[in-house]
Amino acid sequence: DLVDTAVLSNTLPDLILHPLEFSPGWATDGILNPEAATAVLESLGRETFAPGALDLVTLPGQSEQIAAVPSDGWQQIWLYRTDWFETLGQAPPASYQEIISGTAAIYRNPDLSAQSGITATLISGLVVPTEADLISTQQVFEHLALANGCELIDDKGEILFTEPACYDALRFYRQLVNSYSPSDVQTDISALNAYLAGRTGLIVTSPSVLPKLAGLDPNFVPTCPQCVANPTFLAENSGVVTAVSGRSNQAQPATFSDLTTLGITTSADPALAEQFARYWFNDGYLTWLAVEPERKVPLRRGTAEDPTQFTTAWQALPIGEATSNTTLADIYGAELVSSLADNVSQTNRWGLGTEQGDFTTAVRRKMIFPILLQEMLSGYFTSDQAVVEAYDRLVALIPDYAYYKEPVSP
């Protein structure tokens, strides 16, 4: 909305740090200057950036031209109570079956209630954001959908959301949330608070929660019963899953990453904007990554002279308050840090890096899925009806849509 207003009032800034989903649409709409972004990339060295990130920002039909320069990103994590899962004989939540089995076992479990001192009715299997105005509501579902082989659109522009894998993903999501989550509308903050209080077994979130579990954020202190005697109890008894598998014939392990890109606008002086961008990705880069390193895995890995300069330095950045000297690896170990960083750019996102990237921008701007998912969870329609609703709303974004077919429940 701010960018749309700036376009109308002719007050666009020179550069915009923004979520990846906006890059292709803004380039198509003439808001971003792909030539300037590509010039920055070439001057810095294309080989110094994560190839997967470059694939996601490359414009359709342009093997070399990018919409914006990849800056940093994070992988969505399935954060779970290892002590609860192990006590109940449950495997880590890395598949549809393991997720539903684990959350069902934890939901209002009397033994966990007796062990923790928390009333059984307050113990949920999981908490995920479901608010209609939060993009994280879509991100949780999109991760599950991709894991099940559910794609949104193909290269020629045909909506694929009526495929059986998408019906199945919506059915699973609806069953999971309505059966084993608190009944009210949830947000990222309510999910975090439930986990910190020891009232849920699983949340789907960003790595920004990791310092909080260790008591490094005074604004979000662990309050679980065991945390009174041991403030790092949750950090010691939590596990992380990044890749999830579905159950359809098209299912495959899927990760989900949210990437930030630096765009140069068409109102900027290209030379000055490119000069700043080169500073940003050199002298200013680690300063930016240090703001919240757990959420800012560098997508420029290094320089031509030192190909791993930034990824190596990132691993040593302290997390938590400014006075902290604690790194992610100090608390969670090098293996977890590697799992958060290694595949951050190797992510399959709906429509991105394809001929239909600008359609993905439109879906994000209209908040199609957060609104639809909340309506479904609130009982306005079933999961199968939600597929039809989604299809109609998606088709409405494409002028003269050429592939219309009546959705049929498998």
Among 68-72, 190-194, 240-244, 405-409, whose mean pLDDT is lowest? 405-409
Averaged over 114-134, what is the pLDDT?
A: 97
pLDDT of residue 391: 96
321-365 confidence digits (pLDDT tens): 766 789 999 999 999 999 999 889 988 899 888 888 899 999 999
Residue 351: CB partners within 8 Å, gap ≥ 6? 152, 153, 357, 359, 360, 363
Select from 370, 293, 88, 111 the least CA-distant residue to 202: 88
Per-residue pLDDT tens over the stretch 35-69? 999 999 999 999 999 999 999 999 987 778 999 99
Average pLDDT of the residues in 373-377: 98
**pLDDT value for 4:** 74
Measured between alpha carbons, how far is 201 from 240 in angstroms, rounded to an integer?
12
Q: What is the mean pLDDT of residues 212-231?
A: 95
Q: Span 396-404, mean pLDDT? A: 91
Global pTM reads 0.95
**Angstrom distance (rounded) from CA 222 to CA 203:** 15
Higher pLDDT, 231 or 4: 231
* Beta strands 15-19 and 69-75, pairing class: unpaired
Domains identified in the chain and CATH numbers: 2-75+256-342 (3.40.190.10), 77-241 (3.40.190.10)
Which of 251, 93, 266 lies closest to 164 in space, CA to CA? 251
Per-residue pLDDT, 61? 78
Where does the pLDDT of residue 75 fall: very low under 50, low under 70, confident under 90, or very high at 90 and above? Answer: very high
pLDDT at 409: 78
pLDDT at 209 over 90: yes
Q: What is the pLDDT of residue 322?
A: 65
